[in-house]
Amino acid sequence: MSTKKALSLMLVVFVLVSLMVVVGCEEPEEVVDPDPEEVEPVGPIRWTIASGWVAGVYYPISGAMSRVAYENMDNISLTAEASGASVANARLIGTKDAELAILQNDIAYYAYNGIEMYEGEGVPEMRGFFTLYPEHCQIVASADAGIENPGDLAGKAVAVGPLGSGTEANAVQILEAYDLTFDDLGSVERLTASEAADFLRDGRVDAAFFTVGLGAAAIEEVAIVKDVVIVSIEDDKIDWLIETYPYYSKEVIPADTYSGVPESTTVAVLAMVVGHADLPHDLAYEYTSQIFENIDTIHGAHERGTLITLDTALDGMPIELHPGAEQYFQEQGLID
Ligand code: GLU
């Protein structure tokens, strides 16, 4: 081997050995456990919104709210769940089984203050977000059942509202205005809204109470195939109801709101959104602002959705606002 070749070989060996040393001595990469405090949450936070009857209005409206969340909120995903509605929904907020809920403003007031059906088991941790649209107390009766006013319900077969509904509470109060209780009815049925519609259609009940936004599918489903009326409440009884239970207002239901059903006069409350006081301020703010910034999606979900507006968002608010929602309405100049 020439000296030149020997030198080249030594050089190659030197380079190889140096490489092996460098590689061999390389510090193993240190594996550090991430500090759980610093870990970014993976994906959006999942919230449930307790809604109501599939054949009612809360359900399509909360479905539209979850669509707004899906399309516009990076940090919240919203799942709408059907339920008996108002009375049950306030309890779901209390037990933290739902982060948000839609319910009637009269029921929200009772739950927050621990009165009426919430005596001794109030939900003071419930906070208001915004109000939605009027819900009329609609007593749908077979046209041939001879029911001229709620007093005529005595002795009749009546669906008084689903279990856990606000409807049932309204039925108790409307009957009270006529000095009646459930004991005076011929039979008392607690059915889902869709079952109540089936029972009315088949003549298995004479009448059914629904406190729900006008145009609810449950009522139209009956009106389309059967002669029904919405029973009017007389003026003096309406005055008594408003005086005794302040969240009622007097409302007329125009003729043909449902196929062939004549005009009637009744009382109404307001639907509203509530949430748990513990919901983070920034997320509550984000939810409120995105709903109003994408209100067209809500308006498209149901005709009653078109009554949900920023201007009326705090009308009839019966309880303390969530601070995140409050901040949004302050920025919009609705409150100081
Ligand atoms: N207001 C009804 C109730 O609480 C529910 C109506 C709906 O689901 O749209 O009884």
pLDDT score recorded for residue 31: 47
Pocket test for ligand 1, best of 110, 167, 209 (most atoms within 8 A of CB): 167
Spatial CA neighbour of 208 closest among 181, 237, 228, 178 = 228
Q: Which atom of ligand 1 is nearest to the CA of 107?
A: 4
**61 Cβ contact partners less than 8 Å away, ≥ 6 residues apart:** 51, 102, 132, 271, 298, 301, 302, 304, 305, 308
pLDDT score recorded for residue 126: 98
The answer to whether 157 touches 206, Cβ cutoff 8 Å, is: yes
Give 335 Cα–ligand 1 centroid separation in angstroms.
Answer: 28
pLDDT score recorded for residue 43: 79
Q: Which atom of ligand 1 is nearest to the CA of 269?
A: 1
**Which amino acid appears at position 336 of this protein?**
D
What number of residues does the chain have?
Answer: 336
CATH of the domain spanning 45-132+270-331, picked from 3.20.20.70, 3.40.190.10, 3.40.50.300, 2.40.30.10 = 3.40.190.10
Give 197 Cα–ligand 1 centroid separation in angstroms.
Answer: 14
Pocket test for ligand 1, best of 51, 104, 302 (most atoms within 8 A of CB): 104
Q: CA–CA distance from 17 to each of 13, 25, 211 (Å)?
A: 6, 12, 86
Answer yes or no: is pLDDT of 164 > 90: yes
Average pLDDT of the residues in 233-248:
97
The answer to whether 137 touches 119, Cβ cutoff 8 Å, is: no
Alpha carbon nearest to ligand 1 atom 6, residue: 212
Mean pLDDT score of the chain, rounded to an integer?
Answer: 91
- Residue 303's Cβ-count burial label (10 Å; 0-12, 13-18, 19+) is middle
Say whether 135-269 and 45-132+270-331 share the same fold.
yes
92-149 pLDDT tens trace: 999 999 999 999 999 999 999 999 999 999 999 999 999 999 999 999 999 999 999 9
Task: For 312-327, give one letter per residue: b (16+ CB within 10 A) or e.
Answer: ebbebbbbebbebbbb
What is the percentage of the chain residues whose pLDDT exceeds 90? 86
Give 56 Cα–ligand 1 centroid separation in angstroms.
Answer: 6
43-98 pLDDT tens trace: 799 999 999 999 999 999 999 999 999 999 999 999 999 999 999 999 999 999 99
Return the SS3 of 207: strand
Identify the weakest region by mean pLDDT among 19-33, 178-192, 201-215, 240-254: 19-33
Tokens 């030594």 sit at which residue? 10
Tokens 């009426």 sit at which residue? 116
Return the SS3 of 104: strand
Domain chopping of the chain, boundaries = 45-132+270-331, 135-269
**Looking at domain 135-269, does it have CATH number 3.40.190.10?**
yes
167-177 pLDDT tens trace: 999 999 999 99
Answer yes or no: is pLDDT of 297 > 60: yes
